Structure 1
Amino acid sequence: MTVSSETTPGQTASRGLSAGLTVLFAITCGAVVANIYYVQPLLADIAASFQVGMGSAGMLVTVTQVGYALGLLLVVPLGDTHNRKRLILTLLALCIVLLLAAAASPGFLTFAAASLGVGVLSCAAQVAVPFAASLAPDHSRGRTVGTVMSGLILGILLARTIAGAIAHYAGWRAVYIAAAVVMTVLGALLARALPADPARPSIPYGRLMASVLHLARTDAVLRWRSLMGALGFAGFSVLWTGLTFVLSDAPYHFDQATIGLFGLAGLAGALAASRAGRLADKGHAHAATGLFAAACLAAWGLMALTHWSLIALTAGILLLDIGVQGLQITNQSVIYAGNHGARGRVTTVYLTTYFVGGACGSAVASLAWDLGGWLAVSATGAAVALALLGCWLLAHARRQEV
């Protein structure tokens, strides 16, 4: 994968990346991306508050992810030409405003609009990931991406637990007030700790966006990884949208705090998947991808038994998180191996596709629930996982290293 670059590998690696700074990047990604997942365990309460149906409330997940995809498409490429420290801080400041607007929303449409904006601005997390990758030396870039992405993954998983707990004691609006406070503290820390980002030649925005399309057309590895990432995240979104419905319905009737606790089931999976970056550093990315895809398919077989066994559900969540998050880390380790001066644009191609897949998964999950309940949701998730495994098998049969 090659694209003209303004920064060479030697230049970026020479600036160095300490262990403490790597942890700060991980915390940043986790805290920021959590903003788009707080809504998932709150859907029943939000639906009741605004007097809308669960199907309509479920679309809030889609709206937020569409906003995130727009941010990835339109904002993240600026990281290749603009000061990334300043860009991250600006996005966080605007995000604080919209989180407070979400908390104060008088109606469903106002809340949906604020959620869309929060999704757009939370793309700051994906300005931070390639920033960290550009600071890491070549021999440990996969490990660095794995560590930073583990922070992001933990943010996704803990967001549901934290949101459920806060809403249980203080109401769903308090979740967004707390998130605004977290963003304020994080912004202050980043302003002091992030390294200076050297100036790079300016590229007109139109030409910058054209180069994104050029990458998508010409980079076969990036296209394959984007497709597999989208399918993986679609399955992940099918689970976390449908799970709120099934656990708040008969026979369980769990409240938000209890539903949020199921996010903890994925923590072990996220931590195990963090080693995927090391596998990529050692040249085993292709084989690891097949194993992660197979794990996703097996997970849905377990989760189909949710009505009869919460143990099967918990095991399935764990296995799905290993598969999806391991796939994500492997994908990003592979695509960041080249394109040293275009990692923001590579991120845009990959993650725009990724989150469009997630938005589609959320929308399909809401539809499947309305049509056939949890078994329909499980069948949908299994079909997505089967398509993912099929993509890997096709690449393997063609002996195409992706």
Structure 2
Amino acid sequence: MNPEIHLLWKEMLADLSTTAALWELTIIAVACSIALAVNGALRAYVMRNAPEKWKLGIGGANRVLFPLSTLIFVQIGKIILSHWQHTSLLQLTSTLLFAMAVIRLAVYAIRYIVAPGGLLKTLENTISTSIWVVLALHLSGLLPEMFQVLEDIKFKIGKHPVDLLLVMQAVLTILVTIFIALWISRFIENKVMRAEHVSVNLRVVMTKLLRMLLLTIALLIALSAVGLDITFLSVFGGALGVGLGLGLQRIASNYVSGFIILLDKSMEIGDVITVDKHYGVINDLRSRYMILAKQDGTHVIIPNEALITTAVINHSLIEHKGRVQINLSISYKSNLERAMALMHDEAMQQERVLMKPSPDVIVKGFTENGIDLSLTVWVMNPESGGSALQSSLYLSIWRTFEANGIVLAKSDAAAKLAEMLA
């Protein structure tokens, strides 16, 4: 066992039967009480007077404020009490408080980066357990011996001899640097996405490029920190380029197409578009695909390459408005012009329908059963859907047709049934 840890436990066990332990416990209790009072008063004051944009950082500080403030008061008591007796219990308490502060800060940072879900809970439990295990090994004096065992496990990667401890240090260094890069990226991303004077597409492009840049820098720093020669990445980059050119060209095409769409402003989040047979609102634009929210509540994932190589109808490119259309047929016995006027008047009564451009009623054709009519209206909020408006139009037109003697045409099935019954 580590001599320092052995001496710490020996002194603490010896002090338990004396008044020295009582003094140490008193200092711990006083430190916790003062820290709770200071923490509560400071948090209430800051959260009441701080600007809204500071509250995110203040929330992270609140998580570590209690263990750190308690640690400060415990250290002050330790310095004073060390002139008269052993302070092993205070030393142990300081170590536990520091570990608590690290865990709380790490968990807060993870919640800032990772969206709520099963992955977030798993990461929180993994980090907390890992820190407590390392602390337990340190306090038990087994940590140096564990390091020695890992260092004795040696193997070769190519021509270079390495040990398991070095591999674990390398993995940990890479994870920490990537974690810091993601945290910085998320912090800057929140700032950029609130810049309303910059277009949405440009903000999305900037955040994605920034994340890629920070992750690349973090990976290079981590590889250099563990002593690996990063010049081999040039060979890897060449191989990756060949792979993209041969086997991954469709994937690469989707990523390139995504950046082109974001930069040329042909489509933005919230636009109403028609792609192939899919009509809906752009819910999200990502590096590889677009998410289209349809009116029936479903979502379609469309690869970005399809948006570049096929025709896309953007109903709200110039003005953010959408078209809603209904079709119906009237019998030949009905007054055609009267029916068209009634449909136009009923459309003008709807709250969502725009007056300019005015609702438009056209004759689509003459069939065996009747005259086909089409009513087209325009709305300013197409992302809200058109099913409710269509239903309201159908209902109001049906009522006014009944009141004015306009008869709807029978369908083919209804006409055949009437012939059979006749």
Asked if these proteins are the same fold (TM beyond 0.5), I'd say no
TM-score (norm 2): 0.23
Please say which structure displays the higher CA radius of gyration: 2
- Structure having the higher strand fraction is 2
TM-score (norm 1): 0.24
- Structure having the higher helix fraction is 1
| Greater RCO, CA 8 A, separation 6+ | 1
